[in-house]
Amino acid sequence: MISDNAGGLPRYCHPYHGGWDVARIALDIPESRILFVCPVSCARIICLNAVKYDYKDRINVLALTEDDIVSGAYEQKTVEAACRVLEDASPRPRALILYVSCIDAMLGNDHSFQCEEIMERFPGVNCFVLRMCPITRYSGDLPLVALQRDMYAALPDLPEEEAGEVPGGPREREKTVVFIGTNIAPAEENELVSVIKSAGFKALHIQASESYDDFLAVRKASLVMSLMPFGSSAAKLLKERFGIPFIPYFAKYDPASIRKTVQDLCTALGAPLPDMDAMEAETIDILKKTAEAVGDTELIIDSTATLFPDALRETLKAAGFKIASVLADDAARTAPDVDSGSINVPRARSYAPSRDAIAIGMVASSFEGTSKSVDIFYDSGDWGHQGLRSLAGRILEAAKAPKTAEDIRKEARR
Amino acid sequence: MKDLYIDLPPFAPDYGGACEAMYELGGLVLIHDASGCTVNYVSFDEPRWHDRPGSVFCSGLTEIEAVMGDDEALIGKALRAAEILEPSFIAYVGSSVPMVVGTDFEGIARETEERSGIPSFGFDCNGIRSYVHGAGRVLLALTKRFCGEKTDSRGTLVLGQLPLDDNGIEASERLKSLFPDLRASISFGCGIEDLKEAQNAEKIAVVSASGLPAAEYLRGRYGIPFEVGLPLKQAEKDHKKTLVIGEDVRAASLAKALGNADGLDLFSPSGLCRYHSASEDEIRRIAADYDNVVADPCFRPLVKGNLVPLPTISVSGGIFKDTVSAFDTDAIAALLL
C-alpha cells in the first residue's frame, strides 16, 4: 500500500531521511535565509532537519493562525516578521526567501507587494517566494523541478551596463560551467569537473559556494549542465533569460551514457576527450571486484537512491552483482528510465527479523527490513565513473559493517 | 513578535497527537493531506513507526480533489484499504488544506460507516493546534464510542501517555513502570480491547493533558476517580530556583517533585503549571528569572542560566539522545545549580 496512483489506495509514507528537504536545497543559494509563512506544522520537519544538520540559524517560521488565514492579516504580519528577521540577522543575508506551503496554493496569494516592501526597506536584499506545495504535484511541474526553476527565476536581471546584445544576456560571458538540478556539488575528482578544468573553465555549483556573488555569476556562465531531470525547467529558464546554452545530462549509470555526456561536454568546451576506455575499464574492474567480495548477498535498489535505478541495475548486474529487485513508488513520474513492468511496488512493510540483503536507498532498507544499507539519496552528489566507484565503495562498506535503517537513524541522533 | 519562531522549531501539531493516540488500536487512520503532513508525523512524531506496525496512511490529497471537494476519492481509498486490512475502526484526520476548503470530516465518517459498517470517526485537525488538543479529542471520542457497561473495578488506567511526551519508546516503557497496578496505558502498548475495557478500571491516572477529556468523561459516566500527574519520587538535593518547560502535566509533576521549581506549559494548559506560553520572547523573559531551566535542548538559545537538557519528541522529534531519564528526579536534581 505504497502508491496513491496504483489501485486507488492510501499512500504509505516513509520516514524522511537524508536531510535534503526543499529548504536545504533552497539554502544552496549562498548568504540566503528562509522565512516560512505557513501553519506551524508545515515547517516542523524543515526546522527539525535544520537543527539536526546544524543550519537552523538560517530558517525562521511565521506560524499562521486560523484568524490570520480568515482575515488575511498575515500579509502584513509577513512583512513585519521579515523585517524583524532581517534586522536581527548578523551578518544580514543577501537573499530572503519567503517560503509558503500548500494552503497558499488554495488561497491564491500574490506575495509580490510584500517582497517589494521588504526590498524597499532593506536595499541589497533580494526577497522572493518559493513554494513547498506537494498538493500541486499532479497539476504542474513536480515540486523539485519547480523549486529548481523558481530558485533561478529569482536571479535579478543583469544591470544595464553588463547587458549584451542578446536580450537578457551578458556583454561578456565568464569561462564558467554551472551545474544545476542537484543538491550537492560534484566531487573535485569527478570526470566532468576534470574536463571543465582542463579546458580552462571554472566548475560552479552554488552549493559549494559561500558567496551570493557566485549565485549572481550564474547569469554570465558559458554553459549549464543539468545533472538530474529536476534541473530541466531551470536550464530552459536560464537559456531564455540569459541565453546560456545547456546540456541536459542526467545522472545515468551506464557507461555508454556517461561516455556520450563527456563527449558532449568536450565538444561544447572545445576540450580534448579524456581516455574513456581506460576510465571505463577501471570502473568495471572495481565493480567486478566489489561484486566478488559481496558474493551471494542480494541487492535491492530503490528509486530514492537514484532517479535511474534501471540503469544502475543493469550496470551492477553486468558486473556480477545479484539484484533482487528495484523498488519504486510513483515511478512513472519520478524515475524516467524505469520500465514499469520491471519494478516492484511493495505492498507490505516488513517488521520481521532482518533480511540478509543490501539495500541501496533508505526506503528499500526500511521497507524490506534489510540488515545492510547504503544510505544514499538521489545519488548523494556522485555521478559518472567517479560516482560508480564511490558507490562500489559504499556497497562494500555496507557488506562489511551491516546497519539496518534503524541503526542509521539512531546514529544520526545528536 | 508572537508566532515568530526564530530559534525554536515548531512543536508537534494536533494531527500528530491524534494519530499517536490511535496508533496501536488497530484502526485504519488516514491523514487527509498531500504527503507532507504524514511524512512529518512518521519522521518526527511517531517513534513506534520504526518499531511496530501501525495503519496510518496518507490520503494523497491533490489540488483538484481539494478544489472540487471530491470526498468520494477519500472515502473510496478508505473503503478499499479497509477491505484489505479489516480495521477495528476508520478515522479521518484533517490537516491545513482541508481546513481551508472546509472539509466535513464528521459527515465523511458517517457516510463511511453507513457504507462499510465499520465504526468511523472524523477529526478536523488543522496543523495549527497542539498535539495535546488532537490526542485529547481522539481519546474522548474513542472512549465514548467503545466503552460499554462497567463489569469490574480493578487496576489503574493510565490516560494520555503518548510517546510524544517522552523521548523514545524506552522512556515510554519506563513510565509504565511507575504504576505497579497498571491495567492499561492508553495509548502506548495497548490494543483496542484494552480501550473497550477502560470503564472497568478502579482509578485513572492522567499523565498528560491529552488524557483529561476522556478521564472526565469516564468519571462522569462510570464514577471512576482520577488523579492528574506523574507519581515521581521527591528529589532530595536542594537547588536554586528552577523552571521546568514542557507539557502541562509533565512539567508540573516534575517541578513539584524537584521542589523550588515552577512549570511552564507549551501546549494546552490544564491549569497545573504556573505559566503557559509558546512565544519565544515571553519564554526568554520568564526563563531569565530562574537559575536552572529543565527543557528540551532546542530551548538552549532562549536560556541564559543552567539548562538541563530533557529532550521530548513533541519539541525536538527524537533527534537528541537522552542524557538523563525524565522520571529520575534525583538524577535531574543532581544537574541543577
> Are A208 and A134 in the same domain?
no
The per-residue pLDDT for A308 is: 86
Q: How close B243 comes to chain A (CA, Å)?
A: 23
Q: Is residue A6 part of a domain?
A: no
Domain that holds residue A371: 276-411
Residue of chain A whose alpha carbon sits nearest to that of B65 = A135
Residue B58 with chain A: CB contacts under 8 Å: 4, 10-13
Residue contact A135–B317, C-beta within 8 A: no
Total domain count for chain A? 3
> Are A365 and A328 in the same domain?
yes
Residue B5 with chain A: CB contacts under 8 Å: 43, 47, 60-63
Q: CA B168 to CA B186: how far, in whole Å? A: 16
> Can you list the residues of chain B whose pLDDT is less than 50?
none
Portion 108-147 of B in contact with A at CB < 8 A: 126-128
Question: Is there a contact between B223 and B237 (Cβ–Cβ < 8 Å)?
Answer: no
Q: CA A358 to CA A394: how far, in whole Å? A: 11
B29 versus A4: the higher-pLDDT residue is B29
Question: Is there a contact between B246 and B222 (Cβ–Cβ < 8 Å)?
Answer: no
Q: CA B9 to CA A237: how far, in whole Å? A: 34
Q: Is residue A11 part of a domain?
A: no
> Are A173 and A251 in the same domain?
yes
Residue B60 with chain A: CB contacts under 8 Å: 4-5, 10-11
> Are A117 and A206 in the same domain?
no
Of B13, B43, B61, the CB nearest to A40: B13
Say yes or no: B69 contacts chain A, CB-CB below 8 A: no
Q: Is residue A12 part of a domain?
A: no
Within B147-279, residue ranges assigned H as helices are 169-176, 192-196, 212-222, 248-258
> Are A286 and A372 in the same domain?
yes
Say yes or no: B78 contacts chain A, CB-CB below 8 A: yes
Of A47, A81, A106, the CB nearest to B1: A81
The per-residue pLDDT for B280 is: 95
Output the CA torsion sign for A209, A212, A213, A216: positive
Question: Is there a contact between B263 and B314 (Cβ–Cβ < 8 Å)?
Answer: no
Q: Is residue A146 part of a domain?
A: no
> Are A174 and A259 in the same domain?
yes
The per-residue pLDDT for A278 is: 97
Using the predicted structure, report yes or no on whether residue A353 has a pLDDT greater than 70: no
Residue contact B321–A61, C-beta within 8 A: no
Residue contact A69–B100, C-beta within 8 A: yes
CATH for A205: 3.40.50.1980
Q: How close B61 comes to chain A (CA, Å)?
A: 6
Per residue in A246-293, pLDDT (tens digit) is 998 887 888 999 999 999 999 999 999 999 999 999 999 999 999 999
Using the predicted structure, report yes or no on whether residue A52 has a pLDDT greater than 60: yes
Q: How close A263 comes to chain B (CA, Å)?
A: 40
Of B7, B13, B81, the CB nearest to A10: B81
For residue B187, whether the previous peptide bond is cis, meaning omega lies within 30 degrees of 0, is: yes
| Domain B148-228 coded CATH 3.40.50.1980 | yes
Residue of chain B whose alpha carbon sits nearest to that of A347 = B84
Burial A191-218 (b: 16+ CB within 10 A, else e): bbbbbbeebebebbbbbbbeebebbebb
Confidence of residue A336 (pLDDT cuts 50, 70, 90): low
3-state secondary structure of B110: helix
Q: How close B187 comes to chain A (CA, Å)?
A: 20
Residue A16 with chain B: CB contacts under 8 Å: 39, 42-43
How many Cβ atoms from other residues are within 10 Å of residue A65's Cβ?
A: 17
The per-residue pLDDT for A330 is: 56
CATH number listed for the domain at residues B14-144:
3.40.50.1980
The per-residue pLDDT for A390 is: 95
Residue of chain A whose alpha carbon sits nearest to that of B54 = A349
Q: CA B188 to CA B21: how far, in whole Å? A: 8
Of B41, B57, B62, the CB nearest to A138: B62
Residue of chain B whose alpha carbon sits nearest to that of A58 = B6
Q: What is the mean pLDDT of residues A138-149?
A: 87
User: What is the percentage of chain A residues whose pLDDT exceeds 70?
Assistant: 92
SS3 string, chain A, reads: CCCCCCCCCCECCCCCCCCCCHHHHHCCCCCEEEEEEEEHHHHHHHHHHHHHCCCHHHEEEEEECHHHHHHCCHHHHHHHHHHHHHHHCCCCCCEEEEEEEHHHHHHCCCCHHHHHHHHHHCCCCEEEEEEECHHHCCCCCCHHHHHHHHHHHCCCCCCHHHECCCCCCECCCCCEEEEECCCCCCCCCCHHHHHHHHCCCEEECHHHCCCHHHHHHHHHCCEEEECCHHHHHHHHHHHHHHCCCEECCCCCCCHHHHHHHHHHHHHHHCCCCCCHHHHHHHHHHHHHHHHHHHCCCEEEEECCCCCCHHHHHHHHHHCCCEEEEEECCCHHHHCCCCCHHHCECCCCCCCCCCEEEEEECHHHHHHHCEEEEECCCHHHHCCHHHHHHHHHHHHHHHHHCCCCHHHHHHHCCC
The per-residue pLDDT for A346 is: 57
Most B CBs within 10 A among A40, A51, A86, A98, hence the mutation to make, goes to A40
Say yes or no: B40 contacts chain A, CB-CB below 8 A: yes
The per-residue pLDDT for A1 is: 37
The per-residue pLDDT for A13 is: 82
Using the predicted structure, report yes or no on whether residue A5 has a pLDDT greater than 60: no
Q: Is residue A2 part of a domain?
A: no
Residue A107 with chain B: CB contacts under 8 Å: 100
Residue A413 with chain B: CB contacts under 8 Å: 318-321
Counted across chains A and B, CB pairs separated by less than 8 A come out at 203
The per-residue pLDDT for B182 is: 95
Domains B14-144 and B148-228 share a fold: yes
> Are A207 and A243 in the same domain?
yes
Q: Is residue A198 part of a domain?
A: yes
Question: Is there a contact between B337 and A64 (Cβ–Cβ < 8 Å)?
Answer: no
Q: How close B123 comes to chain A (CA, Å)?
A: 16
Q: Which of A248, A269, A290 is the last residue of a domain?
A: A269
Residue A351 with chain B: CB contacts under 8 Å: 52-53
Q: CA A291 to CA B230: how far, in whole Å? A: 56
> Are A300 and A381 in the same domain?
yes
The per-residue pLDDT for A2 is: 47
Of B9, B81, B317, the CB nearest to A1: B81
Residue contact A39–B49, C-beta within 8 A: no
> Are A171 and A229 in the same domain?
yes
Per residue in A375-396, pLDDT (tens digit) is 998 888 888 999 999 999 999 9
> Are A27 and A136 in the same domain?
yes
Q: CA A378 to CA A307: how far, in whole Å? A: 6
Residue A33 with chain B: CB contacts under 8 Å: none
Q: Which of A269, A303, A324 is the last residue of a domain?
A: A269
Q: CA A30 to CA A204: how far, in whole Å? A: 12
Question: Is there a contact between A361 and A302 (Cβ–Cβ < 8 Å)?
Answer: yes
Using the predicted structure, report yes or no on whether residue A19 has a pLDDT greater than 50: yes
Residue B13 with chain A: CB contacts under 8 Å: 39-41, 44
The per-residue pLDDT for A326 is: 87
Q: Which of A237, A269, A301 is the last residue of a domain?
A: A269
A313 versus A164: the higher-pLDDT residue is A313
Residue B59 with chain A: CB contacts under 8 Å: 4, 10-11
Confidence of residue A348 (pLDDT cuts 50, 70, 90): low
Q: How close A232 comes to chain B (CA, Å)?
A: 23
Using the predicted structure, report yes or no on whether residue A334 has a pLDDT greater than 60: no
CA-closest candidate to residue A309, choices A280, A345, A351, A338 = A338
Residue contact A60–B6, C-beta within 8 A: yes
Q: How close A39 comes to chain B (CA, Å)?
A: 6
Of B37, B57, B95, the CB nearest to A12: B57
What the block records as the C-alpha cell of B34 is 498531500
Q: CA A96 to CA A33: how far, in whole Å? A: 5
> Are A302 and A384 in the same domain?
yes
| Residue-range domain boundaries for chain B | 14-144, 148-228, 242-334
Residue contact B50–A48, C-beta within 8 A: no
Complex confidence, ipTM: 0.94
Strand A322-327 vs strand A298-302: parallel, antiparallel, or unpaired?
parallel
